[in-house]
Amino acid sequence: MLDVLGVERVHTAVGCSMGGMTALAFSMRYPDRVERLVSVSSAARAAPFAIALRSLQREMVRRDPAWEEGRYNSVGPVSGMKKARQLGMISYRSAEEWLTRFGRERVSAERRSNDAFCIDFEVESYLQAHAEKFTGDFDPNCYLYLSRAMDLFDAADYGGSVVTGVARTDLSKALVIGVTTDILFPVFQQEELADALSSAGCDVKFEVLPSLLGHDSFLVDMDRFRPVIGEGFSTQ
């Protein structure tokens, strides 16, 4: 795309979550084409906890009889996708947020069924609502491959370790941002990336933001991110 547009070198490669992995990978594979990097709630490689969660999500989709080994019809594995989305939402947010947002609030009587295991708490209703919205937004096979790609990405594959892999870049500056309550891409992973970039001679700014909104903070707590990212772009 850059070749078609006639762009020889980009000012900044920016990415959040898997997008941060993509921006880092591009910076390592094409070091002469990237000047700076902004990595938000991402990492140089997936941690075992995140791999375990995504493995279970994929299993939920693949165990749905409607998946049919990936040769499903237009409807597809709806039940499996809903379960995967619910587990995903649990990993995207934080326990602290849900304690203040939902507490132990119960759903109204008219929203309950006679099933002893029906939705009884507002947090359960929240998960169900997100599962319903997710259905149809993602092709199941696309979801599986994107999920697996996050597990497989490892900067160490480019040189034997994260440090040597990241050293392939030719970045002048980098901004690495993490969130205290992110359990999917914990702060120690952003610190690992920032340290590796610094070892490669890059001028790195590492920011840890105290948002309660977990991994999804960059989507819903933008007022906390804007000043940091804005300052990062304004710095010459």
| CATH number where 213 lies | 3.40.50.1820
- Give the residue from 148, 169, 189 where a domain finishes: 148
Q: What DSSP letter does each residue of 114-173 carry, written as one string? A: S-TTS--BHHHHHHHHHHHHHTTTS-HHHHHHHHHHHHH-BGGGGTSSHHHHHTT---SE
Residues 55 and 143 in one domain: yes
Bridge partner residues of 12 (DSSP): 36
Q: What is the pLDDT of residue 236?
A: 60
pLDDT in tens, 74-124: 889 999 999 999 999 999 999 999 999 999 999 988 888 888 888 999 999
Average pLDDT for runs of 10 along the chain of length 236: 96 97 97 97 97 98 96 91 96 96 92 85 94 85 96 94 96 97 97 96 96 96 95 80
Q: What is the pLDDT of residue 133?
A: 86
Residues 117 and 160 in one domain: no
Residues 16 and 74 in one domain: no
pTM of the full structure = 0.92
Structural domain of 163? 2-45+153-234
Q: What is the pLDDT of residue 136?
A: 73
Q: What is the pLDDT of residue 229?
A: 94
Residue 223 burial class via C-beta count within 10 angstroms: exposed 0-12, middle 13-18, buried 19 and up: exposed
- Give the residue from 123, 148, 173 where a domain finishes: 148
Q: What is the pLDDT of residue 105?
A: 96
CA 47 to chain centre: 12
Q: What is the CATH number of the domain that holds 140?
A: 1.10.1740.110
- Give the residue from 106, 124, 148 where a domain finishes: 148
Report, as residue numbers or ranges, the catalytic residues: 17, 182, 215
Residues 57 and 34 in one domain: no
Count structural domains, the chain: 2
Would you state the structure tokens that stand for residue 197, as one six-digit string?
A: 């970039």
